[in-house]
Structure 1
Amino acid sequence: MRVLVLTLALSLPSMAAAQMPDAAPVIAAERAFAADGRALGIAGSFNKWAEPDGIVIAAGRAQRVSAVYPPEAVRDPQEPLLEWWPNFAGIAASGDLGFTTGGVAVNGQRAGHYFTVWRRQADGSWRWVYDGGPASPSSDVAGPDADPVVLPASPVAPMPADMAVRSVRVNEEMLHMGASMAQKEVHLTWLAPDARLYVARLPPATDPQAQAAALDAWPHGFQFGPAENGGVSAHGDLVWGYGPARWEADGLARTGHWVRLWQRRPSEPGDRVGEWRIVVAYLIPAPPPPATQ
């Protein structure tokens, strides 16, 4: 597999001298989406900025945005004020897929994070394809006026999109097998040192030391299922997806979804093939089971 990838990489035009894309359009789209949240309300802004098949994970299920936020619904005058802003963002080397993640506030009170995956449309505009958020507190992250940290676009050579997805899925199979027995060790194997790892009740972990500490707060083992959905950049350097997760917490069986964004990046200077590393990871728990009488 690696020999095949290397052959393809060397046969395709080099991007070493090409100008790398700027994540600014993705950040601008996120800020406009958030501004419309005030003007149009939650349902109005979410439907305006989503692709028709945009996915939201709610009530333990992945659902189309129109099912979660019916566009025909009349805006509730008592609807809470939902605000959000990017703290971390990035874009694929092909400039067609990007993401942002950052803090959320409800009625002026910091309350968790969001994560949005964006896709460039044929007319050059941006629409989101996935929106969901982890429960990590946002009390200590930079506010709306701060510029987000930008993940550099990867300088690796192009890879066919289907090959990129297959290679990530192979890595996920290994991650899932290891996570059933020792999730901390296997996550640390795949997390990029600058990844955003979100663990409930803890601030975002953005370096290896914080990542290791945050993983201690997760259960020792997870039962992760294969990806249910996701997407890939045309350059084959960004792959996102989500899938089912099962674990035990406080003596109760829990379910939910894992969500991950992978980036293919050089393992050493001059490496044009690259290795896959997770750059965003979190869980979305389903509602807890009802208490027994």
Structure 2
Amino acid sequence: MPRRLALAAALLCLSAITSAAADHPAKAVMDADRAFAVKAKEVGLAKAFQMFAADKVVMFSTATPEMTPEQVAALFPPGFDIDWAPEGGAISDDGTLGYTWGKARYSAKKPGGTVTDLGPTRYVTIWRKQKDGSWKFIGDGELTNPETRAFQKK
């Protein structure tokens, strides 16, 4: 009997942990980031960045960081691609601001079909909850990663 009781207690704890993870406050921004990455594959980077950008955003990796969604879209030439996925994030206590971070991999397809791997990096995206309940990013940038520096030296 004690063995069954221990198993039941373990299952109850596992259930609580799983439920807590599903209800994690940052889940909303993590889901928004995942949807953003999927949309980029469906419609292209330029269109996806334009769709998920707030009215005014800061692109940390550009010379003129404050941009409109249209200006952000212009950053991505045809053939340029980014694969990314969030690994973590957090959300403010009032549920209106959040951030996600993860790994990204850049590549460029040249005319003729040759794809050049531009290497891995990490990124951070800052999100603001909109009046309609959706999330739009207000800040985005890459963080140089040691793997990228090693790739660039090759």
TM-score category, normalised to shorter length: 0.5 to 0.7
1:26-70 Cα offsets, whole Å, 9 max, x none, are: xxxxxxxxxxxxxxxxxxxxxxxxxxxxxxxxxxxxxxxxxxxxx
Give the C-alpha shift of residue 254 in structure 1.
Answer: 0.6
CA distance in structure 2 between the partners assigned to 1:283 and 1:226 by the alignment: 13
Q: Which runs of 5+ in 2 are unaligned?
A: 1-22, 111-115
Please tell me the residue identity of whatever aligns with 1:278: F
Q: 2:57 aligns with which of 195, 198, 202?
A: 195
Q: 2:125 aligns with which of 260, 282, 286?
A: 260
Q: 1:210 aligns with which of 46, 63, 71?
A: 71
Superposition TM-score, scaled by structure 1 size:
0.37
Give the C-alpha shift of residue 205 in structure 1.
Answer: 3.7
1:247 partner SS: strand
Contact 1:254 1:288 (8 Å CA) reproduced: no
Q: Which runs of 5+ in 1 are unaligned?
A: 1-161, 268-273
Q: 1:178 aligns with which of 39, 48, 53?
A: 39
Please tell me the residue identity of whatever aligns with 2:55: P
CA distance in structure 2 between the partners assigned to 1:176 and 1:277 by the alignment: 13
Residues 1:226 and 2:86 are matched in the alignment: yes
RMSD: 2.5
Higher relative contact order (Cα pairs below 8 Å, separated by 6+ residues): 2
Please tell me the residue identity of whatever aligns with 1:171: A
1:215 partner SS: coil
Contact 1:219 1:247 (8 Å CA) reproduced: no
Give the C-alpha shift of residue 291 in structure 1.
Answer: 4.6
Please tell me the residue identity of whatever aligns with 1:284: L
Q: Any residues of structure 2 matched to 1:108-187 within 5 Å, and which?
A: 162=23, 164-180=25-41, 182-187=44-49
Give the C-alpha shift of residue 199 in structure 1.
Answer: 3.6
Q: Any residues of structure 2 matched to 1:1-293 within 5 Å, and which?
A: 162=23, 164-180=25-41, 182-200=44-62, 202-216=63-77, 220-227=80-87, 229-249=88-108, 251-267=116-132, 274-286=133-145, 287-289=149-151, 291-292=153-154
TM-aligned CA distance change 1:275 to 1:164, over 3 Å: farther
Superposition TM-score, scaled by structure 2 size:
0.66
Which structure: greater helix fraction? 2
Give the C-alpha shift of residue 195 in structure 1.
Answer: 1.3
> Between Structure 1 and Structure 2, how many residues are aligned?
122
Give the C-alpha shift of residue 204 in structure 1.
Answer: 1.0
Contact 1:205 1:214 (8 Å CA) reproduced: no
